[in-house]
Amino acid sequence: MNTAQSEALFTRAKDVIPGGVNSPVRAFRGVGGTPRFIASGDGAHILDVDGNEYIDYVCSWGPLILGHRPKVVIDAIAAVLELGTSFGAPTGREVELAELIIDAVPSVEMVRLVNSGTEACMSAIRLARGFTGRELTLKFEGCYHGHVDSLLVKAGSGVATLSLPDTAGVPCGFSETTIALPFNDLDAVERVFRDQGDRLACVIVEPVAGNMGCIPPEPGFLEGLRRVTERYGALLIFDEVMTGFRLSRGGAQELFGIKPDLTTLGKIIGGGLPLAAYGGRAEIMQKIAPAGPVYQAGTLSGNPVAVSAGVAMLRYLESHRDVYDTLEKATAEVTARAPEGVRVNRVGSMATFFFRPGPVRNYEEAKGSDTAVFSRFFHHLLERGVYFPPSQFEAFFVSTAHRPQDIAYTAAAIQEFSKN
């Protein structure tokens, strides 16, 4: 496979961009080799600058539930570009998108639009502190909620891929406001609440972890978080940046039948453009400025291009409820071909092949995976035109654009690895 153009671009990039990439996991540090520089995408396929074509299971890390350049989204973007890209003032489309989110997500009564998942999580935690008058946040090891100073404590995703202990540049004062516990360990949560329940503002959790690989909640875990937060007057925040509109139209909270106090959303709600949101109970959301004393603002929040893409995406999912059955079947076909001895974790259309025996229920068990074998697996697929996430600690995604022949080809490539 010729990669000369990608190699040349990576060399140039490292002179002007730290590490040659604008988000760490893209650098292929977790698997070795040269990152592919992508020229275009269409449906379930991407084309790199050297002309190599791949079946894409990264899907821009989750947003592309309809694949690359779906007509419904492209048409919406083209139409709004005739009107303007940013006004720094309210538009009717913002109201429409907010209404679509509230209609779909069970716990959300009001919503504020922002630009990224990091911004959504940062703002939701500030709101939780402002609402409760408390300072501490409880999170879970391996769950990544964006590069917020106080949340880069035992984070997953790129931090795990690069084997960083956490990150430099975060003052102790920030990290001291965060308690990190093992995912799926309800007993540990209850112990912390017994000791410090009157100081805890919130618990933030990915209801299905996706940033240490896909790890579903154990039976009773999310229900237990709901009970203990209610008992002690803390807020429960579901980080559904990855799972929102991906696992079902109402996200993981609809799938598991649990209503958090606040929800953060991103990825799919932007239709492939930078857009995110946080929302929840009206009495909590009314504390945000200008309605209340908790300040948060953003020049490009609710910009018409991203909002129009988001409206088109959510309206499509509203009118095509069979999307989730289609995704379920396609993803099940891919994971059914997992190499022997590999642990498969899957919820809906997000999944991970963990190269280790036994269950993977938390960050420590995920870190027990054989990353060297995963690297060989990744490059085996890449050489055959199948693009998986370049890290053992990431989920892969299936879109509605993945055709039966794409799935069959991928399954055959996986089985070929198993025979080697």
Give catalytic residue positions: 144, 239, 267
The Cα–Cα gap between 391 and 371 comes to: 8
Provide the β-strand partners of residue 181.
140
Contact of 260 with 285, CB cutoff 8 Å: no
CA distances for 6 relative to 58, 89, 100, 378, 381, angstroms:
18, 40, 40, 17, 18
CB-based contact 137:145 (threshold 8 Å): no
Rama region for 199: left / alpha / beta (φ>0; ψ in -120 to 50; rest) = alpha
Helix (H/G/I), strand (E/B), else coil: 173: helix
Structure tokens at 182: 């093992």
H or E segment and range at residue 394: none
Neighbours of 396 (CB within 10 A): 25
Q: Which residues contact 172 (CB under 8 A, 6 or more apart)?
A: none
- In single-letter form, the type of residue at position 184 comes to N
Pairing verdict, β 45-48 and 53-56: antiparallel
Whose tokens are 């069979």? That residue is 322
